Amino acid sequence: MTRVYVPPTRIKGRQACITGTEMEHVNRVLRLAAGDEVTIIDGEGGVFSARITGKNKEKVFCEITAEGLPDNEPPVKITLVQGLPKSDKMDLIVQKGTELGLSTLIPLQCERAIVRLDEKKAAQRQERWQRIAMEAAKQCKRGKHPSVERAMSWQEVLESLPEKALCLLPWEEETARGLKSLRDNLEAKVPPFEIYIFIGPEGGFTRSEAAQARQYGVIPVSLGPRILRTETAGIAVLSIIMYEFGDLGGTPADYKS
């Protein structure tokens, strides 16, 4: 059944209102009409069965026929702090991160990032990436979509880190500690818990950035003998953690029990 995103503010009681690009998709692409059924997601975990009751040039009106919260969100909350990459690499990172269960993405403006965004461009990119996250969430049947935050500076991110979150910085210059060595740290935690993953841009993090991160409790780790591209590293770490401590690799019965 067609899945449509409707923000919670557009859902009141048993009535829902589809607007904007979602409305255009329903009308012009899918050509749905009164009586057709859709699945509505509100991006915060709410999933509703609904029937189209009418429409005009600006809105599609629906009646909610059933509702229920899906149990398909992972038990671990992961935030990816991604150094701004070149071209459209962030589109891929947002899309695949959503599919794997990412909770939040923070674009990071750091020393070696080639991309520099002014306030206007940053807002435009944020809107684009949030839209990609919403579309990916619909495709993979998540009840929630990741929150794509505004682009932040290194200091802003470090000062906003939750006190009890496990914060990891994959770094090619780290030789003493690998990601595998943190297994005991993770197993000692009781879900749900938070993990922050810091991924550098194409040039990686500088030594001064890594040193600054350590002061805030961020743990540098090695991912192995090969250097991963910026668009690969975050997806790889997210996959590993979701396999070990989330629900990736299981069956629906595993995470509903």
Fold of the 3-68 domain: Ribosomal Protein L25; Chain P (2.40.240)
- Closest by CA to 138, choosing from 9, 255, 26, is 26
Average pLDDT value for residue range 25-32 = 90
pLDDT of residue 67: 83
The boundaries of every CATH 3.40.1280.10 domain in the chain are 76-252
- State residue 55's pLDDT score: 92
pLDDT band at 69 (very low <50, low <70, confident <90, very high): low
DSSP-H helix ranges across 201-251 = 207-215, 230-245
**Mean pLDDT, residues 50-59:** 93
Give the whole-number percent of the chain exceeding pLDDT 70.
93
| pLDDT tier, 245 (very low <50, low <70, confident <90, very high otherwise) | confident
| Sign of torsion over alpha carbons 36, 45, 84, 128 | positive
Which pair of tokens denotes residue 44? 């915060």
- Of 151-160, 201-210, 238-247, minimum mean pLDDT range: 238-247
Q: Give me the residue label for tokens 């991309």.
A: 115
- In the CATH scheme, what is the homologous superfamily, with its name and number, of domain 76-252? SPOUT methyltransferase, trefoil knot domain (3.40.1280.10)
Other Cβ atoms less than 10 A from the Cβ of 188: the count is 8
Q: In this prediction, what percent of the chain has a pLDDT beyond 90?
A: 67
60-78 mean pLDDT = 85
Q: Which helix (H) or strand (E) holds 83?
A: strand 76-83
pLDDT at 190: 60
Q: What is the pLDDT of residue 257?
A: 47
What integer is the mean pLDDT of 141-159? 93
Output the pLDDT for position 160: 95
Which of the pair, 46 or 10, is modelled with greater confidence?
Answer: 10
The residue ranking higher by pLDDT, 187 or 48, is 48
Residues 166-223 pLDDT 10s: 999 999 999 889 988 877 666 666 656 799 999 999 989 999 999 999 999 999 999 9
Tell me how far apart the 2 most distant CA atoms of the chain are, in Å: 63
Q: Which three-class secondary structure state does DSSP give residue 60?
A: strand
Confidence of residue 154 (pLDDT cuts 50, 70, 90): very high
Residue of 71 and 92 predicted with greater confidence: 92
What average pLDDT does the structure give for the chain?
90
Predicted confidence (pLDDT) per residue in 100-110, tens digit: 999 999 999 99
Residue ranges, comma separated, of all CATH 2.40.240.20 domains in the chain are 3-68
pLDDT at 112: 87
Mean per-residue pLDDT, 239-248: 88
Please calculate the CA angle 236-242-245 and round it to the nearest 5 degrees. 135
